[in-house]
Amino acid sequence: MHQPKPNILIVDDDLVYRFAATKTIAATGLAEKIVECSDGLDAINFLKENMQQPPNLPDIIFLDINMPTMDGWEFLTAFDSIISKLSKPIHIYMVTSSIDKHDIQRSKEFAIVSDYLVKPIFKETFSRILKGVHV
């Protein structure tokens, strides 16, 4: 029996990173659908629009911290307020170039954050995460 593949949402203001991450995740062959948002507000709006449509919702969100409009921390607060209305569980991974101990500690204060990943993220890491999430 084949395991369903997870849907992915990449939230990052860096167009080059989004492109590279999308290509890398696609190359694993382990993702069903990959959606990109350029900031937290776009991502929250996407989630709200698809709240009751599980096939459109991501199973995994790769979330940058430093973005304009709504950064990763603000996204987590907004996400927390809609999580109970989402039609399926979503795993969030903080993805950042920050190795600041304060950021790492702060990410642990959010129970909804599965892990804190420092860029660059390689194919092996994406593969491990995608294989570990059960859809």
Tens of pLDDT, residues 58-111: 999 999 999 999 999 999 999 999 999 998 999 999 999 989 999 999 999 999
Distance, CA of 39 to chain centre: 11
Would you say residue 1 has pLDDT above 90? no
Is the pLDDT reported for residue 133 higher than 90?
no
What does pTM read for this prediction? 0.96
Fold assignment, 12-61+77-124? Rossmann fold (3.40.50)
Give the per-residue pLDDT at 3.
75
Nearest to 97 by CA among 116, 75, 69, 111: 116
Domain limits of the chain?
12-61+77-124
Instruction: Check residue 2 and give its pLDDT.
Output: 65
Alpha-carbon gap, residue 62 to 9, rounded angstroms: 6
**pLDDT over 70 (residue 6):** yes
- What confidence tier does 26 reach under pLDDT thresholds 50, 70, 90? very high
Report, as an integer, the average pLDDT of 14-38.
Answer: 97
Distance, in Å, from the CA atom of 133 to the CA atom of 59, rounded to the nearest integer, reads 8
Closest CA to 93 of 67, 56, 60, 126: 60
Average pLDDT over residues 13-34: 97
Q: What is the per-residue pLDDT for 87?
A: 86
